A and B are shown apart, each in its own frame.
Chain A
Amino acid sequence: MSQFLEISGLCAQIDADGQKKQILRGVDLSIPPGEVHVIMGPNGSGKSTLSYVLAGREEYEVTAGTATFHGQDLLAMEPEERAAAGLFLAFQSPIELPGVNNANFLRTAVNAVRRARGQDELDAVAFLKMAREAAKALSMAPDMLKRNVNVGFSGGEKKRNEVLQMTLLQPTFAILDETDSGLDVDALRIVAEGVNRLRAPTFSALVITHHQKLLDYLVPDRIHVMARGRIILSGGPELARQIDQEGYTKFLAEVA
Chain B
Amino acid sequence: MPAVTQTREAVEKLGQSTYKWGFETDIEMDMAPKGLNEDIIRLISSRKEEPEWMLEWRLAAYKTWQAMEEPKWAKVAFPPIDYQDAHYYAAPRKKPGPKSLDEVDPELLRTYEKLGIPLHEQALLAGVEVPEGERMPVAVDAVFDSVSVATTFRKTLEEAGVIFCPISEAVKEHPDLVRKYLGTVVPAGDNFFSALNSAVFTDGSFVYVPKGVRCPMELSTYFRINAKNTGQFERTLIVVEEGASVSYLEGCTAPMRDENQLHAAVVELVAMDDASIKYSTVQNWYPGDENGRGGIYNFVTKRGACRGARSKISWTQVETGSAITWKYPSCILQGEGSVGEFYSVAVTNNHQQADTGTKMIHLGRNTRSTIIAKTISAGRSDSTYRGLVRVQPKASGARNFTQCDSLLIGDQCGAHTVPYIESRNMNARIEHEATTSKISEDQLFYCRQRGLSEEDAVGLIVNGFCRDVLKELPMEFAVEAQKLLQISLEGSVG
Contact = CB atoms under 8 A, between A and B. Distances in A.
A89 B3 contact: no
A170 B310 CA distance: 54
Interface residues of B, number: 27
A151 to B, nearest CB: 10
Interface string B1-16: 1011001000000000
Given A91-B446, A109-B450, A116-B451, A99 B466 contact: yes
Interface stretch (B29-37, B142-150, B349-357, B452-460): B452-460
Interface stretch (B81-89, B120-128, B182-190, B437-445): B437-445
Contact of A97 (B1, B446, B448): B446
Contacts of A79: 445, 448-449
A238 to B, nearest CB: 33
A57 B445 contact: yes
A99 B452 contact: no
Pick from A58, A78, A148, A165 the residue with the most CB of B within 10 Å: A78
Contact of A78 (B7, B450, B464): B7
A130 interface: no
Contacts of A95: 440, 442-443, 445-446
Contacts of B440: 95
A80 interface: yes
Contacts of B450: 83, 105, 109, 112-113, 165, 169
Given A78-B4, A81-B3, A97 B460 contact: yes
B467 interface: yes
Chain B interface main SS type: helix
A76 interface: yes
A109 B452 contact: yes
Contact of B451 (A58, A100, A169): A169
Interface string A35-69: 00000000000000000000111110000000000
Interface in A78-115: 78-84, 88-89, 91, 94-95, 97-101, 104-105, 108-110, 112-113
B463 interface: yes
A77 interface: yes
B3 A100 contact: no
Given A78-B7, A81-B4, A91-B446, A99 B463 contact: yes
A83 B464 contact: no
Contact of A99 (B4, B7, B465): B465
B464 A97 contact: yes
A58 to B, nearest CB: 8
Interface string B384-408: 0000000000000000000000000
Interface band, chain A: 35 or more
A112 B446 contact: no
B464 A77 contact: no
Contacts of A58: 441, 445
B461 interface: yes
Given A77-B4, A97-B443, A112-B456, A83 B461 contact: no
A102 B466 CA distance: 16
A116 B451 CA distance: 9
Contacts of A88: 449
Contacts of B454: 80
A148 B464 contact: yes
B452 A100 contact: no
Contacts of A76: 1, 4
Nearest to B457: A80
Interface string B199-215: 00000000000000000
A121 to B, nearest CB: 12
Contacts of B447: 97, 105, 109
Given A83-B449, A112-B452, A112-B456, A98 B464 contact: yes
Given A81-B3, A109-B451, A109-B452, A100 B446 contact: no
Interface string B410-454: 000000000000000000000000000000111101111111111
Contacts of A59: 441
B448 A78 contact: yes
Interface of B: 1, 3-4, 7, 440-443, 445-454, 456, 460-461, 463-468
6 contacts: A82-B449, A83-B451, A99-B464, A99-B467, A100-B463, A165-B450
